[in-house]
Structure 1
Amino acid sequence: MIPAFLAFATIGQDQPERKSSLTGDVRIHEMIPSSVLGVSRTIRVWLPPHYDAGKPGGYPVAYMLDGQNVFDGATSFIPNQEWRADETAQAMVESGLIPPIVIVALDNGGLKRGDEYLPTRAKLNGSEVGGEANKYADYLVSEVKPFIAKQYNVSRDPGHTALVGSSFGGVAAFHIGATRPAEFGLVGAMSPSFWWDDKVLVKNVGGWESVPHLRIWMDAGDEEGPLMVFPTREMRDALVTKGLKSGRDFVYYEEPRAAHNEVAWARRFGFCLQFLFGTRAGRV
């Protein structure tokens, strides 16, 4: 992981020239106001080839956190390092590996990112962070999803609705899926920071009295180190203990020689999509 002070120290230094890398039909809704968050946020939407506003049942939909990094190297936190979600989804749709889907990328809150994505409040680098993930879930459910449903032909079925994030965003995706399974039945937690607050989410799963109906993708890169990898393995084991079956209800994939960055997540994003939405038997 990159400590926060090092990450923000790069701001203002010489950066590579940013280049737009959008692929396909990407529509940008600038600064949509939120009464829940009390701010405005940009929402970016990728539509599949041959999108049909009248398609019966609507399209499966993936809501993705840290939206600045999802489609475009011109807007990503690290210049020109992005998830390539548009390129990956387009190639997979055109090859028949997944059905046509809609991807909704939600910009993060900058300095508020940790507060909004983490479910509990705890200390990080000497400051208290987190505790607003449930409020952020309210924003998704009461504002973002209705806005998208009004603008686009998306499915209302939680079994066709994913929430995907990485790092702190992976924590948010898992927590919100686990607490709002009637809204998000598919979860993509990529390099999730399950170490957060003494592994509180792993402990929460251990205390489940009933198991939410979810399909979960989790992953990590072995170069992320024990702090990231070991708690994610513990989460895998906790899910198995609760009766979830690997390969059916969830997948945990550990990528060799992979670090904690958008380049690694871009490589694995297609695997995540295929498990959550795939059209072939087993979805893997």
Structure 2
Amino acid sequence: MKMRFLFIAFALLLCHYGIAQQTVSLGQLVEYPGFNSSIVTPRDVFVWLPSDYSSKEKYDVLYMHDGQMLFDANTTWNKQEWGIDEVVGKLLNEKKIKPCIVVGVANIPETRYADYFPQKALKNLPDSVVPGDVGFNADNYLRFLVEEVKPFIDKKYSTNKSVEHTFVMGSSMGGLISLYALCEYPEVFGGAACMSTHVPMILSNELSKEKADQWSEAFRNYLDRNLPKANSRMIYMDRGDATLDAYYPPYQDKLDSLMARKGWKAPMWISKVFPGAGHTEEDWNKRLDNPLIFLLGSEKKSAICDNHDKNLSPDDYLISKFKEADIVLLAEDHGVKENLDFVRNMIPKLYENGIYMLGMEFGAYEDQRQLDSLINAPKYDEQLARQLMFNYNTRWAIVEYMNIYKAAWEWNHSLPEQARRFRILNISYRYNWEAFEKVRTPENMKKVFPLGNTEDFRCALLEREVLSCHEKILVLTGTIHAFTSYFFPYYDYTSPDFVRYEKRFLGNLLYSKYDTKVVSVALHQPFFNYPNHQPALVSPAAGKLEVVMSKYNNKPVGFDLKESLIGELRDHSYYSMGHTDFTLADLFDGYIFLKPIKELSSCTTDYKFMNDGNWEEVVRNSPDPDWHPRPQNKRQYWETVTEFMNIEKRYENVQ
């Protein structure tokens, strides 16, 4: 069966590029011809400002596609316009919408379809039906909006930069790209208005129903997996029932059913039908007040969850987790100076809030009595601190880890004589790498780990020393040991979908027994990339987490990931392997951001850690000799140590 679309409707879909100078009836229009881009082909950008625009006031921003069709019919190919300036100006004068500016981004006719087609929906189509002559480019177009246009607008004009003040809007293919933008960048756009959305998705004078059904279903499948959490954003949809819009009902109805099934409802989502309305700028102008009031209405209190202003400083956030939890696992990437300085400075605040213990992966429990003595001795013994760390790992020549010992000593010496002392609890034991016999077999590794599985040992120790005593503890540990409800994936050809999941790391073991009494909080860090992908490390949520942080000037902050919008950011790192619709909230309970990844710095090497007296022990008990060969000389030893701690080099290619 064939559906013949009207020729004029497709001409409207193309929205030919206007080049004449535009004028407006209300407000003022600033044009940026050929706005430069390193991502997409340069195109005109128009900025409409209200007549009373003032740099002393902050304005919401509405980003619109097909920018050359918005303001002046005298310059458009069909002599029609949206009339944005008149409608927005009128609503502002009537105080029906909040103060705002409009940014219109012009299309390029030759690439409009490719720029506006939701690119990731193609993954739901067989390769045989995807046209090879269309250079689909929506992902780059959205990057252009988010990475180039928005930063320029926020710097040039007095805008409210955050998500609840930033919206996107378009019609036809522009409706598709608006909804796609909301799904791909929910941390940037607080709402989308999609008018006469071209839900059949195919651009052709002869459109088969079978093909339209297939392509629209591919887009719905994308939405099913990628829509933001229901009612966490604002989504406006509408259509007419004349000209091209007459073909939309079956497709829009299915889209509406999907939205309802996903839990979307008024007032955060509405879908309207305007009888008699067609697919033209004049039609959209007649009902333009509807989406504008929906997104920008002055009486509407936004339900968008922008929790940043409600979030706490990193230390206050960490303390808040102890209201319900007894064990907070703090996940770190080893060797980051800022992380260890943060933990060191947390000691007084932990104590003042009734948390008297800090657990450290980096120490042997056999040395606990000596450690207790060290941090309570009349005089701090730096060499003893060094020896205790050496006993745990002969390569852990890192000043900042030992500085935590000293910070505990300093705090205890500031307390009244009868006051309870703060304690650092070593949660590991001494490993016998001297007994390692080249190959990791159960028999060989029992010699290396004579007290058994390290995760079981740590779990039992925390149960005995903390939970059974009704105490609370902050545990600093490597990221993988801190997972609670998340199961780490491995490729396994015998498992369903070729993935098996590790459920026996320290956090997993504790969580399985004590549930909400144990929480995991990650210190900001890069994630491992997907196997066989480069670079080796990637920024969480493909960099979107850092985009959010940059909007608040990278202010240090702590926040929940569970039940939060930042937690809904999708992540495609190694951690996502085997998991469906993987988000940051699937990985950790909470998160602490101290600095952007590229600003984190290396720890300090302790060159007194190894000397002639302990060199033979360094060689004999060098950890993981099958991964890192035992040092042949001291120079090689120090090269290994310093290379491990070179965070700037480790993170230089993070994307």
Residue number in structure 2 paired with 1:94: 93
Structure 1: state its 5+ residue gaps.
12-17
Structure 1 residues 5 and 233 mapped into 2: Cα distance closer, same or farther (>3 Å)?
Answer: closer
**Equivalent residues in 2 for 1:1-284 (5 A)?**
2-3=6-7, 7=11, 21-37=24-40, 39-55=41-57, 58-79=58-79, 81-120=80-119, 128-129=133-134, 131-196=136-201, 197-208=215-226, 211=229, 213-223=232-242, 224-245=244-265, 247-281=266-300
Alignment length, in residue pairs? 271
Structure 1 residues 4 and 151 mapped into 2: Cα distance closer, same or farther (>3 Å)?
Answer: same
Which structure has more strand as a fraction of its residues?
A: 1
Residue 207 of structure 1 aligns to a residue whose secondary structure is helix
- Structure ranking higher on relative contact order (CA contacts 8 Å, 6+ apart): 1
Residue 257 of structure 1 aligns to a residue whose secondary structure is coil
1:72 deviates by 1.1
Residue number in structure 2 paired with 1:15: none
1:133 deviates by 1.0
Is the Cα contact below 8 Å between 2:193 and 2:237 reproduced in 1? yes
Structure 1 residues 114 and 63 mapped into 2: Cα distance closer, same or farther (>3 Å)?
Answer: same
Residue 151 of structure 2 aligns to a residue whose secondary structure is helix
Deviations 1:162-198 (A, max 9, x none): 1101111110000111111111111011111112223
1:233 deviates by 2.1
Residue 87 of structure 1 aligns to a residue whose secondary structure is helix
Structure 1 residues 3 and 118 mapped into 2: Cα distance closer, same or farther (>3 Å)?
Answer: farther
CA distance in 2, matches of 1:130, 1:172: 16
CA distance in 2, matches of 1:195, 1:64: 21
1:203 deviates by 2.1
Paired AA for residue 203 in structure 1 = N
CA distance in 2, matches of 1:220, 1:7: 18
Residue 272 of structure 2 aligns to a residue whose secondary structure is strand
Q: Calculate the TM-score normalised by the size of structure 1.
A: 0.86
Identical pairs, percent? 28
Is the Cα contact below 8 Å between 2:239 and 2:245 reproduced in 1? no
Larger Cα Rg: Structure 1 or Structure 2?
Answer: 2
Is the Cα contact below 8 Å between 1:20 and 1:73 reproduced in 2? no
Structure 1 residues 209 and 76 mapped into 2: Cα distance closer, same or farther (>3 Å)?
Answer: closer
Structure 1 residues 175 and 130 mapped into 2: Cα distance closer, same or farther (>3 Å)?
Answer: farther
Residue 211 of structure 1 aligns to a residue whose secondary structure is coil
Paired AA for residue 180 in structure 1 = Y
